[in-house]
Amino acid sequence: MEMLDKKNIAQAVNLLPGINLGNAGARNEGMIYVRGFDMRQVPLYLDGIPQYVPYDGYVDPNRFTTFDLSEITVSKGYSSVLFGPNTLGGAINMVSRKPEKQFEATLRGGMISGNDRIASEFAALNFGSNQGVWYAEGNLSTLKSDFWPLSDSYVPTKNENGGKRDNSQAKDFKGGIKIGYTPNSTDEYALSFNAINSNKGVPVYAGSNPANKARFWKYTDWDKSSLYYIGKTAIGSKSYLKTRAYYDGYYNVLDSYDDATYTTQKKGFTSVYDDKTFGVSAELGSELITDNTLKLAVHEKHDLHREYNVGQTTKKFEDNIISLAVENSWKASQHISVIFGARQDFSNTIKAQDLVGTVISSFPLENNHAANYQLEVAGRISEHQEVTGYLARTTRFPTLKDRYSYRFGSALPNPALAPEKSWNYGLDYSVKPADNLKLMTSVYQSKLSDVIQQVDNVTPGVYQFRNTGEATYTGFECSADWKAASWLKAFGGYSYIDSKNDSNPSLRFTDVPHNKISGYLQFLLSKNTWALVETEYNSKRYSTSDGKYTAGSYGLLNLRANTTLHNSLSIQAAVENVFDRNYAVSEGYPEPGRQFVLSVGYSL
């Protein structure tokens, strides 16, 4: 992540085959697609703690910077039942840093320029101490963007005149602290607090689709805070107990203005979301049975959502989800292991309020349940070859927004929506034909049913979301990691996905291209200096389900160079989008043109 200067988690996971970035342009939110599944179906976690917003199941990955993370893991198609509910297409887990030395600290800062002026500035501080029986880790980071530059080849439109992207400013401040107690080699207890304080503009739609109205929006608050406890206790020599407890708060203020001056709200509004989540989980693992590791898990998550427009009555919603899971790993032989898992999820709607005029009433309260199963067989063909096959039956509960939103008067709520379901099948193969070369490939298919889709004209001019959809995602991925010489490293990945709407073939799936190629070449110029060429290609993608509006194919090239001075001070420079390509991942929302990045890092 540091080498390729990926400052948020969306940019980071885009390095992987099978991952595509999107742009929820109407909200200026990033979007991550994992083998065609969006972030409602592939939830985001921090150290195993759910991070998605209760109301709509999404969260903006652009607000989560990478400065304080040690790694990000992505489960595609198959993810452990122990994660908990809603992992229809996988899971993304961010892992926070943990100090290893008695004292360590890193400081990083830099700037991004475009259109001959400074566009953004960033700085991050991580510090920690590991004293054996206890440790502490802290982090602070800020990322301030005044604008992002558009390509010189961008053609001005009615709502965007080019140069600096109008209303593209953003400011992110992130901080956290983790304190851990490790009384022995097997037990660990940690308490963590993380906070994100952000505000951002929403660039106006600048495309040609007359159905997309210009929205003059700003988020004056996009705040998120998490307080969580994680513990692990050994029970004898062959068993353990993991426990988690967490509180998550999300506060969001959206201002809608009348025009591009962003000064009056005669026709606009100020919308407030105030969400809270309380959760606990426990996992009991045991190796008492020879060659088996049995794990039992229970999760409970209680979501509260409050929303109102300033001057209007507040609506309140509450959901409670309980999951019970079992997973057993069996070492069938020296070269074969088998994992079987099952999970039952229960969703209980406690409160769902409707507002008509100034009168509050209750929507019908519905309960749901969903069964999940999975089987994985992994075999080691030789010392350097592995093959893994899996099948998984996965589910996702409909969100509060899916069930109860009027969508600005254009939709009819449907409290009776049932969970989406999918059968996921896959085969993974990896081989290391030489010490300096690793190859990986995957083929997969997902068969979805009860997909929540828009059904038009349930009453004249009004649509409703219903469980009417069936779909098939079929794909292929491959990658190569090669150290070609002592001075040259290379990585390349390719992914293909074919998304078919089986229930209505005339409707296209949006925002995911059929083909993606990415990779880099790193030239080691000396012990402390390297240069790197990074590239990415995406084929066209549909931006509307009728296929009339698309974001065209594009290729990008980035150049980076880094040198280290005195083993602790590093300087990195980069040119991103070298050829100043005018491109978009969502039609009408152009992405940044050429940018110059300079960063400095110092570590103790």
Whichever domain contains 541, its CATH number is 2.40.170.20
Question: CB within 8 A of 279, min separation 6: which ones?
Answer: 49, 50, 244, 245, 246, 248, 299, 300, 301, 302
Confidence (pLDDT) at 461 = 85
State the Cα–Cα distance between residues 263 and 573, nearest whole angstrom.
39
Helix, strand, coil distribution of the chain in percent, nearest 5: 5, 65, 35
DSSP 199-219: EEEEPPP-SS-TTS---EEEE
Confidence (pLDDT) at 457 = 86
Does residue 389 fall inside a structural domain?
A: yes
Confidence (pLDDT) at 230 = 98
DSSP helix/strand/coil, 162: coil
Closest CA to 61 of 39, 79, 83, 41: 39
Question: Phi then psi for 579, rounded to 5 degrees?
Answer: -90, 15
Confidence (pLDDT) at 39 = 94
- The β-bridge partners of 561 are 531, 573
317 to each of 405, 411, 539, how far by Cα in Å? Answer: 12, 19, 41
What tokens does 329 get? 């790993």
Q: Give the structural domain span for 144.
A: 9-603
State the Cα–Cα distance between residues 312 and 360, nearest whole angstrom.
11
Question: CB within 8 A of 383, min separation 6: which ones?
Answer: none
Q: Return contacts of 573-577, CB within 8 angstroms, 24+ apart.
A: 573/597, 573/598, 573/599, 574/5, 574/598, 577/151
Closest CA to 278 of 331, 320, 233: 320
Q: Which residues of 475-497 are buried (b: 16+ CB within 10 A; e: fewer)?
A: bebbbebbbeeeeebbbbbbbbb
Does residue 107 fall inside a structural domain?
A: yes
Q: Are 367 and 349 in contact (CB under 8 A)?
A: yes
Question: CB within 8 A of 289, min separation 6: which ones?
Answer: none
Does residue 247 fall inside a structural domain?
A: yes
What tokens does 74 get? 């992505």
Does residue 1 fall inside a structural domain?
A: no
Cα(first)–Cα(last) distance of the chain, in Å? 19
CB atoms within 10 A of CB 332: 13
Q: What is the pTM of this model?
A: 0.95
16 to each of 272, 480, 517, how far by Cα in Å? Answer: 35, 11, 10
Residue with tokens 């093959």: 387
Q: Are 129 and 99 in contact (CB under 8 A)?
A: yes
Domain count, the chain: 1
Q: Are 231 and 188 in contact (CB under 8 A)?
A: yes
Does residue 4 fall inside a structural domain?
A: no
State the Cα–Cα distance between residues 81 and 240, nearest whole angstrom.
18
Does residue 110 fall inside a structural domain?
A: yes
Q: Which residues of 399-408 are buried (b: 16+ CB within 10 A; e: fewer)?
A: bbbbbbbeee
Does residue 3 fall inside a structural domain?
A: no
State the Cα–Cα distance between residues 20 and 133, nearest whole angstrom.
42
State the Cα–Cα distance between residues 523 and 593, nearest whole angstrom.
25
Does residue 506 fall inside a structural domain?
A: yes
- Pick out the chain residues at pLDDT < 50: none
State the Cα–Cα distance between residues 218 and 199, nearest whole angstrom.
8
pLDDT tens-digit readout, 233-289: 999 999 999 999 999 999 999 999 999 999 999 999 999 999 999 999 999 999 999
DSSP symbol at 155: P
State the Cα–Cα distance between residues 259 and 158, nearest whole angstrom.
13
Residue type, 261: T
What strands, in cross-sheet order, belong to the sheet with 49-50?
49-50, 44-46, 90-96, 69-76
Confidence (pLDDT) at 20 = 95
Confidence (pLDDT) at 366 = 92
Sign of CA dihedral 242, 334, 78, 289: negative
State the Cα–Cα distance between residues 88 and 421, nearest whole angstrom.
7
Confidence (pLDDT) at 409 = 84
